[in-house]
Amino acid sequence: MNVGVAGLRFGMSWAQIFDAYDETDLIAVCDLDGEKRDRAREQLGVESHYESFDDLLDDDRIDSIAIFTPAPLHAEQSIRSIQAGKHVLCAVPAVLQMDEARSLVEVVSRSDRVYMMAENWVYEPALVRAQELYEEGALGQIYYAEAEYYHGVEALRRHPDGSPTWRNSLHPLLYPTHGTSPYLHMTRDSFTEAMAFAASGRAEFADGYETDWIQTAMFRTESGGLFRLSNSFQNVQRMSHFLSFHGDEGSFETGRFSEARTVCHYSRGGDKELIREVCEHTDLPQFGDGLGRGHGKTSMQIVLNFVSSIRTGTQPSVDLMLALDMTLPGIAGVQSVHSGNWETVPDPRTWV
Ligand SMILES: NC(=O)c1ccc[n+]([C@@H]2O[C@H](COP(=O)([O-])OP(=O)(O)OC[C@H]3O[C@@H](n4cnc5c(N)ncnc54)[C@H](O)[C@@H]3O)[C@@H](O)[C@H]2O)c1
């Protein structure tokens, strides 16, 4: 399978994975930045290097495009790739606006091409353990869950010339999927309504940041429960992620900070003991030892699932509908921050 990767900052690690995997040939890369294209050529020996996304689409040898460009470009580039007959693996979030989601549904539902969203958190070891416990019935029905995604990304908010990047004004709730995805992937529940709030620190500490420092949403779930999501890209502690699932038979929490991905604490029905477990990444012999240790292994699992879904004609683990179930609640949350009301989270299946 011939692959082209667009966007070579975070996308470079994905280019390395496609290059290393026996089942895929990385034959083209695309980035506006010539230095990044040169680096891909030097490090990975990629044949074709395009400055323009149009040229990537016009390359008839390419079967699949991996989109790792800025989030505001995801919807349009996914739509155009599917229309050009390519399979799509797209970085999170799938879309930033409701009308983009409708257009994407319209195009993907009329096509036989695979669309997958590259959401790592469903493959993080602690969350894989949560899924096992849920499937065993150890947690019962989850009636309340929480996710916090705090990621100070000041260094990525300005281009070298000082002008703002897309991250300088991205509403935190428009990047919801690291928080929403594990619960939705595990339960196949969905969110129906959002009520959200925002807060910021003092202006003299904002350093030109153009949106709320934190946005917190409460979602009602289709199954009758509640889910709280708090997101921030402007916080002193650079990185802190946390998820918890409260079921009527058991409860589960990830560790915090660097332990969120691999440590969990849980209690299961009848047995009130709190168990602490350190969870391991799956061993992936398809890739060499030198590539993507730890967190990078989740990206490899996504690539394996994407390729297998194309080869076997099965749905990828995060297909378009699930991707939108994970993404649209954040858009409804931002609507709620502005309106002060509960906002409906649409069901994208009704758009087909
Ligand atoms: N864990 C995760 O899932 C995770 C982590 C990081 C980033 N992301 C997502 O991945 C995407 C890429 O993130 P990033 O940090 O590399 O973003 P970035 O803005 O730092 O880099 C994007 C790259 O795309 C290039 N680019 C911009 N416009 C382009 C165009 N029209 N055609 C081709 N190339 C173009 C830029 O030159 C740059 O190299 C983002 O959407 C982000 O939300 C996800």
Specify the CATH number for the domain of residue 10.
3.40.50.720
147 and 262 inside one domain: yes
333 within domain boundaries? yes
Q: Is the CB of 92 under 6 A from ligand 1?
A: yes
pLDDT, position 293: 63
Q: Is the CB of 9 under 6 A from ligand 1?
A: yes
Å from CA of 286 to ligand 1 middle: 26
43 and 72 inside one domain: yes
* Tally of domains in the chain: 2
What percentage of residues in the chain have a pLDDT greater than 70?
99
- Closest-CA residue, ligand 1 atom 27, reads 69
Å from CA of 221 to ligand 1 middle: 31
Planar angle of CA 147, 157, 38, nearest 5 degrees: 110
Residue 30's beta-bridge partner residues? 6, 50
Atom of ligand 1 nearest to the CA of 93: 43
Domain boundary among 56, 86, 120: 120
Q: Is the CB of 71 under 6 A from ligand 1?
A: yes
- DSSP conformation class of 139: S
- Say which residue, 294 or 253, is predicted with more confidence: 253
200 and 333 inside one domain: yes
89 and 126 inside one domain: no
Q: Is the CB of 73 under 6 A from ligand 1?
A: yes
169 within domain boundaries? yes
135 within domain boundaries? yes
116 and 19 inside one domain: yes
Whether residue 125 contacts residue 293, with contact meaning beta carbons closer than 8 Å, is answered with no
- Dihedral over Cα of 222, 223, 225, 231: its sign: negative
Of 89, 179, 176, 190, nearest to 127 by C-alpha is 179
313 within domain boundaries? no
Which DSSP string do the residues of 182-193 spell out, in sequence order? HHHHHH---EEE
* pLDDT band for position 285 (cuts 50, 70, 90): confident
Read off the pLDDT of residues 157-190 as tens digits, 9 standing for 90 and up. 999 999 999 999 999 999 999 999 999 999 999 9
129 and 165 inside one domain: yes
Mutate to test the pocket of ligand 1, among 52, 69, 238 (most ligand atoms within 8 A of CB): 69
113 and 148 inside one domain: no
Q: Is the CB of 156 under 6 A from ligand 1?
A: yes
* pLDDT band for position 291 (cuts 50, 70, 90): confident
Q: Is the CB of 36 under 6 A from ligand 1?
A: yes
Q: Is the CB of 32 under 6 A from ligand 1?
A: yes
Q: Is the CB of 53 under 6 A from ligand 1?
A: yes
- Closest-CA residue, ligand 1 atom 13, reads 10
170 within domain boundaries? yes
Range of the domain at 74: 2-120
Q: Is the CB of 33 under 6 A from ligand 1?
A: yes
Of 65, 113, 64, 120, nearest to 93 by C-alpha is 120
What percentage of residues in the chain have a pLDDT greater than 90?
91
308 within domain boundaries? no
Read off the pLDDT of residues 62-93 as tens digits, 9 standing for 90 and up. 999 999 999 999 999 999 999 999 999 999 99
- pTM summary value: 0.98
- Closest-CA residue, ligand 1 atom 17, reads 70
Å from CA of 308 to ligand 1 middle: 25
302 within domain boundaries? no
Q: Is the CB of 69 under 6 A from ligand 1?
A: yes
115 and 125 inside one domain: no
111 and 159 inside one domain: no
pLDDT, position 83: 98
179 and 114 inside one domain: no
Q: Is the CB of 31 under 6 A from ligand 1?
A: yes
261 within domain boundaries? yes
183 and 331 inside one domain: yes
Domain boundary among 120, 137, 155: 120
- Closest-CA residue, ligand 1 atom 21, reads 9
Of 324, 280, 287, 288, nearest to 302 by C-alpha is 287
Q: Is the CB of 153 under 6 A from ligand 1?
A: no
Domain boundary among 120, 136, 168: 120
pLDDT, position 103: 98
Distance CA 4, CA 2 (A): 7
Distance CA 286, CA 61 (A): 24
62 and 98 inside one domain: yes
